[in-house]
């Protein structure tokens, strides 16, 4: 639908937008830090006090519980692990939020889960955006994430100034669920790219080629890809759990579509190997 870059819109006054954030891991904590550094009053909640410490020392306020955060904020960002964690938080959060406030889901979850959450929010007059992000912790700290949005024009317009505090590119892809669909394609495609890189390197072994030399040729030629760039540092099991989750979400959303099956099957070549430390 619309693609927005930083600075090309009328900004909402930051002092008038009270922002809450839940999910202060490596990515979420960096995003919350960017929000606060951009001048928004920030309130946070977390089960582990340690995850809030740096933000609190920087000036963020601490919510006593999820309901308090929801009741006192205009924008609530949620960046927890998965569907189950989002559902658990939202059961306490949505009933406490005020009409006219906005809930933004930055977690990567099933598109259908976002559609159901939007319906719940709509019953209370709460705006809703699914806005998963692509990038790393350091990119979040630098405000260089890519943000994929699904929601109404009104909801995305309200969320956009906050999103741009941590995103170099904010893309409105369509109605709620569209952001999640783009994100799961993105993550599954990276896993598939790694699967192709692994297959290429293993084929080189079979052909008797030096692995380092083959990699140098591929990364500098027409076959260059993000998967080839990352492959040497990602041959262990570390990336597998989230990539497994997101590839499964993509496959489920595809519901037998041959394109989703092709991406998933290629990704599985990498995921199984990473899980087995091959």
pLDDT at 246: 85
pLDDT at 181: 95
pLDDT at 10: 40
The residues of the chain scoring below 70 in pLDDT are: 1-13, 15, 234-241, 276-278
The pTM score is 0.88
pLDDT at 271: 85
Angle at 190 between CA 149 and CA 244, to 5 degrees: 90
């Amino acid at each position: 639908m619309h693609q927005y870059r930083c600075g090309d819109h009328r900004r909402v006054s930051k002092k008038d937008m009270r922002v809450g954030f839940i999910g202060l891991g490596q990515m979420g904590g960096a995003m919350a830090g960017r929000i606060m550094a951009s001048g928004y009053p920030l309130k946070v909640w977390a089960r582990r006090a340690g995850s809030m410490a740096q933000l609190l020392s920087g000036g963020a306020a601490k919510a006593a519980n999820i309901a308090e955060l929801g009741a006192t904020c205009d924008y609530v960002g949620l960046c927890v692990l998965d569907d189950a964690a989002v559902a658990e938080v939202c059961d306490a959060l949505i009933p406490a939020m005020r009409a006219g406030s906005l809930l933004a889901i930055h977690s990567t979850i099933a598109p259908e889960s976002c559609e159901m959450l939007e319906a719940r929010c709509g019953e209370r007059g709460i705006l809703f955006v699914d806005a998963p992000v692509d990038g790393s912790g350091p990119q979040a700290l630098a405000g260089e994430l890519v943000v994929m949005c699904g929601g109404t024009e009104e909801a995305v317009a309200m969320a956009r100034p906050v999103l741009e505090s941590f995103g170099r590119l904010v893309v409105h892809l369509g109605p709620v669920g569209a952001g999640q669909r783009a994100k799961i394609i993105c993550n599954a495609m990276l896993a598939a790219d790694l699967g192709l890189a692994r297959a290429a390197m293993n084929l080189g072994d079979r052909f008797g080629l030096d692995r380092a030399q083959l990699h140098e040729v591929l990364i500098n030629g027409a076959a260059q890809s993000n998967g080839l760039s990352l492959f040497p540092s990602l041959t262990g099991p570390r990336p597998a759990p989230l990539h497994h989750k997101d590839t499964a979400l993509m496959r489920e959303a595809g519901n037998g579509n041959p394109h989703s099956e092709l991406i998933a099957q290629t990704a599985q070549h990498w995921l199984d190997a990473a899980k087995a430390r091959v």
